[in-house]
């Protein structure tokens, strides 16, 4: 875990791909894509089950570590309608019963729009607009030119790092650009997009289960500009 | 033959001529690099496998970053640190003992299996390619074979498709049978280990060849952290 101070707020960056906003006692995650393997199986592609359980377990550990009161999900909770199954409902009902007191807020993402109803038992408050919470504004898609600094998801950012001629690699990262910060995708069955960092961006890579600030000179450009 | 005589002479002067009856190994220390070249004369495919194997075994002993290259008559391993070699160690690097285990482990480290899985995933219909002229396949079904590889390894590690990837690499890419035969042949040959001041004529093409594969057992996190620290102190 890496503690950083940003806009006079204390943020803890966890290598489990979550951000803890200490001042608000809120755990932030983005892009879970639950039920993705079920979506694939529904179309005849035999992908094994297991990542949902692993992700929920990781989430439990994070909640225990941080003792957060509130969980804020920056979109894409469920992957698709075909993955919004009984199996998933049972899993989440069970999980929710273990975290009764937790307040859960979902800023709706592009996948959520077509993923069907979120069961009432999960007690998740859904927000269709951007969520303003100074000094931040939370959204699924990254926002520019907002009066507050934006924290978002959607991109599943990964950065190309070239250490020297012997080693280059791609690592998932927390990205803090000029107008918005992007969280890595929380779900383990998710792809990534190689991003092109802006000039003064701060990039924190997830390497060997640790969050490390990556110096600018070893970052290479990807296809996706932020 | 006449034309190459001068080159062979230089080779003989700086090191010696490799051949069928000996195994020549040259070690050269360059400015920022250390290079070890082997001349087993076993063909490119086998050399690629051998290079991966030797690099893997070396990296198990020391924290090193290595690059390997191979051609038809030899292979070479480049490192950022100097490696202390002797005949005993070279014999150990080329032993047939533990061959299969080392190769399998090496496959994981170098991500060979992950790359091979791409082909398999396509043929098995796991990755939807779509047809020319057809509209894009459903977006929520797009996935990279490398991500699928991870899913299978984590949640269904006995899956037959994973096994298939391993088998295809062992036989197709690393040429297991020929590799085994070569190692057995090399075990019987006298070893000639020689440290050269410069890259010999025969080692040169291997040195010049661009990066083929990299293997590393160094902690990159530490390196990157150090870089970040030094940046901070500069600023």
Nearest to A89 by CA among A127, A107, A115: A115
Q: What is the pLDDT of residue B36?
A: 94
Lowest average pLDDT, out of A195-209, B82-96, B120-134, goes to B120-134
Is residue B211's pLDDT more than 70?
A: no
B79: Cβ contacts below 8 Å, ≥ 6 apart:
B33, B34, B35, B36, B58, B64, B65, B66, B67
Is residue B212's pLDDT more than 60?
A: no
Nearest to B115 by CA among B152, B72, B145, B155: B145
* Minimal Cβ distance to A212: which of B128, B138, B224: B224
Q: What is the pLDDT of residue B206?
A: 87
What is the pLDDT of chain A when averaged over all its residues? Answer: 93
Residues A119-128 have a mean pLDDT of: 95
A32: Cβ contacts below 8 Å, ≥ 6 apart:
A55, A73, A76, A77, A78, A186, A187
pLDDT of A34-52, one tens digit each? 999 999 999 889 999 999 9
CB contact under 8 A, A207 and B138: no
Q: What is the pLDDT of residue B210?
A: 58
Q: What is the pLDDT of residue B10?
A: 86
Three-state SS string over B124-173 comes to CCCCCCCCCCCCCCCHHHCCCHHHHHHHHHHHCCCCHHHHHHHHHHHHHH
Please report which confidence band the pLDDT of residue A89 belongs to, taking 50, 70 and 90 as the band edges: very high
Strand stretches in chain A, DSSP E? 2-6, 9-14, 18-21, 26-29, 70-73, 103-107, 124-127, 131-133, 136-138, 149-152, 157-164, 167-176, 180-182, 193-196, 202-207, 210-214, 219-220, 224-225
Is residue B205's pLDDT more than 80?
A: yes
The complex scores an ipTM of: 0.85
Q: What angle do CA A127, A130, A132 make, to 5 degrees?
A: 105
Identify the closest residue of chain B to A76 by CA–CA distance.
Answer: B140
Q: Which stretches of chain B sit within 8 Å of chain A by CB?
A: 65-67, 80, 125-126, 128, 138, 140-144, 147-148, 150-152, 154-156, 159, 211, 214, 216, 218-221, 223-225, 227-228, 231
Please report which confidence band the pLDDT of residue B173 belongs to, taking 50, 70 and 90 as the band edges: confident
Q: What is the pLDDT of residue A80?
A: 94
Q: What is the pLDDT of residue B218?
A: 65
Q: What is the pLDDT of residue A216?
A: 86
Please report which confidence band the pLDDT of residue A224 belongs to, taking 50, 70 and 90 as the band edges: confident
Residues A133-162 have a mean pLDDT of: 94
CB < 8 Å to A57, chain B: none
Lowest average pLDDT, out of A14-28, B21-35, B118-132, B183-197, goes to B118-132
Identify the closest residue of chain B to A193 by CA–CA distance.
Answer: B144
Interface of A with B in 31-90 (CB under 8 A): 36-37, 39-40, 43-51, 54, 79-80, 82
Q: What is the pLDDT of residue B231?
A: 62
Residues B155-175 have a mean pLDDT of: 88
Nearest to B186 by CA among B18, B55, B7, B16: B18
Please report which confidence band the pLDDT of residue B63 belongs to, taking 50, 70 and 90 as the band edges: confident
């Amino acid at each position: 875990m890496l503690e950083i101070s940003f806009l006079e707020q204390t943020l803890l960056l966890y290598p489990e791909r979550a951000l803890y906003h200490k001042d608000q006692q809120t755990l932030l995650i983005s892009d879970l894509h639950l039920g993705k393997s079920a979506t694939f199986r529904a179309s005849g592609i035999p992908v094994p089950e297991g990542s949902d359980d692993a992700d929920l377990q990781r989430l439990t550990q994070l909640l225990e570590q941080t003792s957060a009161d509130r969980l804020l999900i920056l979109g894409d909770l469920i992957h698709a309608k075909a993955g919004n199954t009984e199996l998933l409902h049972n899993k989440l009902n069970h999980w929710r019963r273990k975290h009764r007191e937790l307040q859960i807020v979902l800023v709706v993402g592009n996948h959520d729009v077509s993923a069907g109803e979120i069961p009432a038992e999960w007690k998740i408050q859904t927000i269709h607009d951007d969520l303003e919470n100074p000094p931040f504004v939370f959204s699924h898609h990254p926002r520019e030119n907002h009066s507050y600094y934006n924290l978002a998801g959607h991109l599943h950012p990964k950065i190309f790092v070239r250490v020297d001629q012997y080693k280059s690699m791609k690592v998932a990262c927390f990205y803090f650009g000029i107008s918005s910060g992007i969280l890595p995708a929380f779900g383990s069955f998710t792809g990534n997009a190689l991003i092109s960092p802006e000039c003064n961006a701060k990039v924190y890579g997830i390497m060997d289960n640790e969050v490390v600030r990556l110096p600018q000179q070893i970052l290479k450009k990807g296809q996706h500009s932020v | 033959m006449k034309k190459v005589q001068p080159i062979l002479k230089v080779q003989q002067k700086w090191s010696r001529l490799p051949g069928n009856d000996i195994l020549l190994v040259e070690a050269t220390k360059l400015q920022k690099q250390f290079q070890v070249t082997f001349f087993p004369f076993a063909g490119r495919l086998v050399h690629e496998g051998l290079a991966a194997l030797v690099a893997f075994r070396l990296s198990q002993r020391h924290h090193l970053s290595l690059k390997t290259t191979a051609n038809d008559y030899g292979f070479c391993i480049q490192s950022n640190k100097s490696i202390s070699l002797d005949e005993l160690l070279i014999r150990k690097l080329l032993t047939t003992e533990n061959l299969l285990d080392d190769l399998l482990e090496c496959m994981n480290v170098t991500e060979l299996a992950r790359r091979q899985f791409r082909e398999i995933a396509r043929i098995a219909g796991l990755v939807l390619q779509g047809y020319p002229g057809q509209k894009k396949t459903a977006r929520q079904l797009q996935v990279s074979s490398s991500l699928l590889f991870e899913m299978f390894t984590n949640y269904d590690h006995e899956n037959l498709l994973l096994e298939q990837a391993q088998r295809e690499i062992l036989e197709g890419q690393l040429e297991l049978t020929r590799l085994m035969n070569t190692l057995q042949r090399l075990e019987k040959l006298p070893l000639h280990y020689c440290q050269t001041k410069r890259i010999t004529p025969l080692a040169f093409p291997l040195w010049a060849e661009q990066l083929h594969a990299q293997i590393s057992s160094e902690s990159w996190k530490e390196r990157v952290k150090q870089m970040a620290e030094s940046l901070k102190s500069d600023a």
